[in-house]
Amino acid sequence: MNDLDHRFRQQKQSGQKIAALTAYDYPTARIVDEAGIDFILVGDSLGMVILGYPDTTSVTLEDMIRHTGAVARGAKLAPVIADLPIGTYGSPAQAVASARQLLAAGARGVKLEGGSALAPQIRALVEAGIPVLAHIGMLPQRVREEGGYKVKGGTLEEAGVIRDDAVAVQEAGAFAVVLEIISPGLAAEIGPTLQIPTIGIGSGEGCDGQILVLHDLVGLYPWFKPKFAKQRADTASAISGAVRDYVAAVRGDTGMTPP
Ligand code: KIV
């Protein structure tokens, strides 16, 4: 067992919920870290909210390495977990080689998407001393095949697959598992059957912790707002207001303080 296993299993046992967020750069990592987050994910969601792609399927390992380095320089307390992007963990050996590059950039562990089918990759990573955060349910790297971000676990068959995936990733050695957009009843049922914590996103309150994309939390990506994400600040409007003031001041509009 690694230190993340101990830390997060203990937190689950004590009943203290785990709060996690994404970050993609030095300033946001520093702010999130200093605000007391339990862990930071350098998510491949950076493909959308930072790089402007329609989904995560164009993100490369080089993208993840660059942003992981920036986040790691800003986060002094919270462990930094980095996503293995699509196409970088097709075999156990490839997963370990890719993950080592993220660790060299400053990550403490990696996340990969998939359940039972990825048990060999998870096992190889853990044997190589690399902590793994698993991710089951809706898998954003498969959004094109799935035809959108749909709730998972609504049918008996899907629920059975998700239950089996949760057990498989735990047995393979993951330190925690993200449950993405799983029916809340199923997510609440899975948590107590596992020793490792469940980290929910759009899966209801019955998980051992929650994770959100920072931009959804602070309103910095107003063009797509997942229904489940409670926006707690309006950063896009704050930036827009400051820019409008600045433009008016530079142009010498009446009543504006010069820049
Ligand atoms: O890429 C991402 O940001 C994620 C989520 C779980 C937030 O995978």
pLDDT in tens, 17-60: 999 999 999 999 999 999 999 999 999 999 999 999 999 999 99
What are the beta bridge partners of residue 20? 39, 211
Question: What is the CA(10)–ligand 1 centre distance, in A?
Answer: 23
Tell me the pLDDT of the chain averaged across its residues: 96
State residue 147's pLDDT score: 87
Question: What is the CA(178)–ligand 1 centre distance, in A?
Answer: 9
Say whether both 148 and 257 belong to one domain: no
- Residue 159: is its pLDDT beyond 70? yes
State residue 7's pLDDT score: 95
Question: What's the CATH number where 103 sits?
Answer: 3.20.20.60
State residue 253's pLDDT score: 80
State residue 256's pLDDT score: 67
Say whether both 90 and 187 belong to one domain: yes
Residue 95 structural domain: 3-224
**How many structural domains comprise the chain?**
2
State residue 258's pLDDT score: 65
Say whether both 191 and 242 belong to one domain: no
Say whether both 61 and 99 belong to one domain: yes
164-181: burial string, b at 16+ Cβ within 10 Å, e else: ebbebbbebbbbbbbbbb
pLDDT in tens, 131-144: 999 999 999 999 99
Instruction: Please state the atom number of ligand 1 nearest to the C-alpha of residue 180.
Output: 6
What is the mean predicted confidence (pLDDT) over 150-157? 92
